[in-house]
Amino acid sequence: MDTTFSASELERFRHDGYLVAPGMASTATCDAMLAVTQDHLRREVQPVEYEAEVGYAGAPASLDAPGGRTVRRLRSAYQRDDVFRQWAEDPRIVGRLRQCFGEPVCLTLAHHNCVMTKHPHFGTATGWHRDIRYWRFTRPDLVTVWLALGDERADNGGLLVIPGSHRLDISREQLDELDFLRPDVAANQALFAQGRAVELKRGDVLFFHSGLFHAARRNDSEVVKTSVVFAYRGESNAPVTGTRSAAAGDVELG
């Protein structure tokens, strides 16, 4: 079992802010996660986040509007089923993250910790943002691990990234009130032009830094796009007391 990045992979991750590990999750693992996901979607097993609650452009105006109860994510994936817990603690993930952080790893339960579902028609686009815009830790240095349970492309709402953007010094004027990159700022237009789609096959895993700017379009296919997403920190990078980041606890993974 390969539990580490190669030296060149680690260098590329640090430079670009993201890296794809092809085929890390087996077909059986993806099938098991997808079965639980589809069951919980059908029964609306709480906690969930609906598109109407996100408030992004084009989202249904309320839960009672057409598409208002379209599920954007199943929250608390780690607590939902053993199949998600086993994946979150997979030694191949933990070993790679230990390389990235240079210390033992913790899974944060306050952020991500979800199954993201982008539905056709009502699954809204997401503007360019960094996850650390609303995370509060000692250092803005966390890693998201994103598993594709089906193929992901730009046209079905797959992730877009700006390589190396985790290393950029972004001014306050470039961001709107929600810390999304403003499309009316010239400097941002140059950044948008550098964006690229991260195409994933079923079972591929995307590792990306919490400071990497990323976005996603609507799902223009006829199939729900499903991804399992967890966020991790180094042991010494504690959440700030009294913030949402400290509210749900962590899982020490060594």
Give residue-wise pLDDT tens across range 55-87.
776 667 777 677 678 889 999 999 999 999 999
Average pLDDT over residues 224-246: 97
Distance CA 16, CA 166 (A): 8
Confidence of residue 186 (pLDDT cuts 50, 70, 90): very high
The pTM of this model reads: 0.95
Centroid of chain to Cα 194 = 20
Structural domains in the chain, CATH included, are 7-252 (2.60.120.620)
Percentage of the chain modeled with pLDDT above 70? 98
Residue 236 has pLDDT above 80, yes or no: yes
The residue behind tokens 């941002």 is 188
pLDDT at 114: 98
**Mean of per-residue pLDDT scores for the chain:** 94
Helix-strand-coil split of the chain, %, nearest 5:
30, 25, 45
Which pLDDT score, from 0 to 100, does residue 70 have? Answer: 83
**pLDDT tens-digit series, residues 199-210:** 999 999 999 999
Asked whether residue 192 carries a pLDDT value surpassing 90, the answer given is: yes
Nearest to 69 by CA among 109, 7, 123, 145: 123
Pairing of strands 205-209, 196-197: unpaired
d(CA 177, CA 199): 30
pLDDT at 198 over 80: yes
